[in-house]
Structure 1
Amino acid sequence: MSKVEERLAELGLTLPEVAAPVAAYVPAVRSGEHVFTSGQLPMVAGKLKDTGKVGAEVTPEQAKALAQICALNALAAVKSVIGDLDKIEQVVKVVGFVASAPDFTGQPGVVNGASELLGEVLGAAGVHARSAVGVAVLPLDAPVEVEIQVRVSA
């Protein structure tokens, strides 16, 4: 078990199986020293944990927890490409999409669920640049979607 997975276990979390794509793409691709994930939905055991818009059917607190699930799924996608999460040298960028009610403006707080998890699990290597974007709708009516870009060792 990698140090990263040991840290997840200390936090009471486990790395899930890679979420199956819902369309024509792969979960992650390596290009040189970087791995780019596809957008990861809050899938648990092959199903969305929740659906709806943040600020309407989904509370900001629920959405923050869903963003954490997205980050776990993103780490699983990275592992599927590099085999060992200890090869992550730096999370370079996180992009979070939040399906938002028209008056909801708390997207950064929601995406903190992903950012905080990456920081807790990876330490200094988890510090990253980030965008948090409000959108009208996401695939399968997911409340949150997160993608990450990481730099890895050979």
Structure 2
Amino acid sequence: MATPEERLAALGLSLPEVPAPVAAYVPAVRTGAHVYTSGQLPTVEGKLAVTGKVGAEVSAEEAYDLARICALNALAAIASVTGDLSAVVRIVKVVAFVASAPDFTGQPQVVNGASELLGEVFGDAGKHARSAVGVAALPLGAPVEVEILAEVR
């Protein structure tokens, strides 16, 4: 059976460096059998991939891809406290925030970018409970932010 890292590689992806916090927090905390990530932004090599509100400056399709980047960054944060992604038993919950134009209501479709990546990496263990919330603004002008709760061994 392929490891989560091997599944990522088959998708043409690899775990990035864990993004540095932009304030007073840590990227992930392990307590007992769970890892909680901080909200992860769509950063690539330390820089936001895009800024703006979804439904205005950022399309829903582009935001879907940004949510995938956020989830990948969250997976890197999980691996930073577990050693690797094979420690993940199940993705329990995803909470995502979408900086939205006033009339934008497609937050669930945007957050599918994160959810579908988790399914591709973990199979049934990647199926999770989820919240997709539209907000007025996110840190640094990011269009999307994703946090993950994972059960680990």
**Residue in 2 that maps onto 1:14:** 14
**Distance of 2:10 and 2:84 partners within structure 1:** 18
**Residue in 2 that maps onto 1:27:** 27
Q: How does 1:53-64 map to 2 (within 5 A)?
A: 53-64=53-64
**Residue in 1 that maps onto 2:152:** 152
**Shift of the alpha carbon at 1:72?**
0.2
Encode CA deviations 1:64-114: one digit per residue, 9 max, x unaligned. 000000000000000000002101000000001000000000000000000
Instruction: Determine whether 1:133 maps to 2:123.
Output: no
Give the gaps of 5 or more residues in structure 2: none
**Shift of the alpha carbon at 1:14?**
1.2
**Residue in 2 that maps onto 1:143:** 143
Taking structure 2 as the reference length, what is the TM-score of the superposition? 0.98
**Residue in 2 that maps onto 1:45:** 45
SS in 2 for 1:89: strand
**Distance of 1:87 and 1:25 partners within structure 2:** 23
**Shift of the alpha carbon at 1:47?**
0.1
**Distance of 1:17 and 1:5 partners within structure 2:** 14
**Distance of 2:35 and 2:15 partners within structure 1:** 17
Taking structure 1 as the reference length, what is the TM-score of the superposition? 0.98
**Residue in 2 that maps onto 1:116:** 116
SS in 2 for 1:22: coil
AA aligned to 2:50 is D
Percent identity (aligned): 74
SS in 1 for 2:30: strand
Q: How does 1:34-113 map to 2 (within 5 A)?
A: 34-113=34-113
SS in 2 for 1:102: coil
**Distance of 2:17 and 2:84 partners within structure 1:** 14
**Distance of 1:84 and 1:13 partners within structure 2:** 15
Q: CA RMSD in A?
A: 0.7
**Shift of the alpha carbon at 1:115?**
0.1
Give the gaps of 5 or more residues in structure 1: none
